[in-house]
Amino acid sequence: MIGTNYENQGVNLNNESESVNLRAYRAHWLLPLSAPPIENGVIVIDDQQIRAIGAYEDLADSIPEPLTDLGEAVIFPAFVNVHTHLEQDTLQEPVRRFFDYLSQSSIRLQNQSDEQRAETVRSNIQESRRFGTIALGDFSKDGLSAQILQEEFLFARVFHEVRGFKQYESEAIFKSVRDQLGQVAPMKRITSHLGMSSLWELSADLLREISIFERHVAIHMAMTEAETEFLVNGAGPVRQYLLAGGDYDYTWKPPRMTSVQYFFNNHFAARHNILIHMNQLTGNDIDLIKETSAKVNVCICPRTASNLEWHPTPVKQILERGVNICMGTESKALVRDLDMRKEIVECINQTGVNIDTALKFATLNGAYAIGFHKEVGSLDTGKTARCLVLPIENINQNDPYAALLDLSREVRWLDEINPV
């Protein structure tokens, strides 16, 4: 609760064992995101959690020492990158066509050893940390990233990316990926799931088996006109791609409907769903998403849409229907880095949403999408003390969001700032 005194959280300042690790930070602005911005705010943390947050004048009588005054700065929640591929690295030449990306990234992964992939995952985790990411949703070839993520203080849902379009291979593929999933040690902060690559890369039986088996699924959907063309009439670049890869099923019949209609009308949705990209949507598609009883989150990747010259996701229409929108960076094979602030800037440029809305896409909304909203996504008591700081000198100090758009300013982790 904003403005709640940490004494209400069971902390007794007279008890040295309880108060010894408390640290307080004061800043010109705090951005809780679950409540309006707080000017001249104070946040109190211990080694793990936020213990209090509010205006300085409301907490002044009970602020513990030391109180570190950050001055002209803004404190805000760390980012939630709902969709990335930690096992993929930058390609030698930027790609501008989607099927070139699929081919090149697939070949590269096939030619890499587990040690090389692990090195890429660790490098991308460190880059994510440098850019201020606290939680993410990752698509993994075989769950390798889940094991490595357990070494870091991050929250993540890792989706083992399942492919297999031939109907007669469905049973064997499902058994294989299910067994693979069972080999990953469970952990509260890092959860592993079967993920659907895309509707046109999985047979109907595989889609159905995964939706029954999993409570949480993620899937790339409605990305290109080629996807719609394939589902409507069975022709076009998608068919050629499957034929070239030897994964086309000649018994398959096009459902003659959009991706969203195919997914929901055939009950391929699980209880919790992350639909990634969603650039090719009709008004009827959005209505169908809104009307479903399943929980649906739309994850946009603005820079990828720009780089591949896709239609921007119709964000405002989705928001009008009350559907949760979150944000991801996609793969470094499609964007040069894993900086969520650049996604925020591109989102604003593409869609015209306000900075506070775009910031929620990249934080609180994302936390809800991957199911870690009790731990991250906003500055609230009980949530992680891992939050971010940006300086706001020489900028419009009446605008608490202005520094977020200045990409020359580097974020710092609040809990790594030594008390003074």
What's the pTM?
0.94
Task: Identify the three-state secondary structure at position 235.
Answer: coil
Question: Are 356 and 216 members of one domain?
Answer: yes
Residue 174 lies in a domain: yes
Domain hosting residue 394, numbered range: 6-77+378-416
CB atoms within 10 A of CB 142: 17
Cβ-Cβ contacts under 8 Å for 341 (sequence gap 6 or more): 79, 131, 132, 362, 404, 405, 407, 411
The residue to which tokens 């994302």 are assigned? 366
**Can you give the pLDDT at residue 19?**
54
Question: Are 121 and 269 members of one domain?
Answer: yes
Residue 1 lies in a domain: no
CB atoms within 10 A of CB 20: 9
Question: Are 70 and 85 members of one domain?
Answer: no
**Can you give the pLDDT at residue 18?**
54
Residue 133 lies in a domain: yes
Task: Identify the three-state secondary structure at position 24.
Answer: strand
Question: Are 297 and 407 members of one domain?
Answer: no
Closest CA to 50 of 386, 381, 414, 402: 381
Residue 184 lies in a domain: yes
What CATH number does the domain containing 317 carry? Answer: 3.20.20.140
Residue 178 lies in a domain: yes
Question: Are 188 and 266 members of one domain?
Answer: yes
Question: Are 194 and 334 members of one domain?
Answer: yes
* Cβ atoms of residues 306 and 345 within 8 Å: no
Task: Please give the full DSSP string across 91-116, using - where no structure is assigned.
Answer: -SS---SHHHHHHHHHHHHHHS-HHH
Residue 12 lies in a domain: yes
* Cβ atoms of residues 59 and 306 within 8 Å: no
What φ, ψ does residue 170 adopt, rounded to 5°?
Answer: -60, -45
Question: Are 23 and 107 members of one domain?
Answer: no
Residue 394 lies in a domain: yes
What CATH number does the domain containing 402 carry? Answer: 2.30.40.10
Question: Are 108 and 91 members of one domain?
Answer: yes
Cβ-Cβ contacts under 8 Å for 238 (sequence gap 6 or more): 200, 226, 227, 229, 230
Q: What is the DSSP letter of 202?
A: B
Question: Are 248 and 301 members of one domain?
Answer: yes
Write down the H helix ranges in 249-386: 259-265, 283-291, 302-307, 315-320, 340-351, 355-361, 364-370
Question: Are 160 and 223 members of one domain?
Answer: yes
**Can you give the pLDDT at residue 108?**
83
Residue 31 lies in a domain: yes
Question: Are 67 and 87 members of one domain?
Answer: no
Along the 420 residues of the chain, how does pLDDT read in single tens digits?
344 443 344 444 335 455 568 999 999 999 999 999 999 999 999 988 999 999 999 998 899 988 999 999 999 999 999 999 999 998 877 788 888 888 888 888 888 899 999 999 999 999 999 999 999 999 999 889 999 999 999 999 999 999 999 999 999 999 999 999 988 877 889 999 999 999 999 999 999 999 999 999 999 999 999 999 999 999 999 999 999 999 999 999 999 999 999 999 999 999 999 999 999 999 999 999 999 999 999 999 999 999 999 999 999 999 999 999 999 999 999 999 999 999 999 999 999 999 999 999 999 999 999 999 999 999 999 999 999 999 999 888 889 999 999 999 999 999 898 887
Question: Are 64 and 90 members of one domain?
Answer: no
Count how many domains the chain has.
2
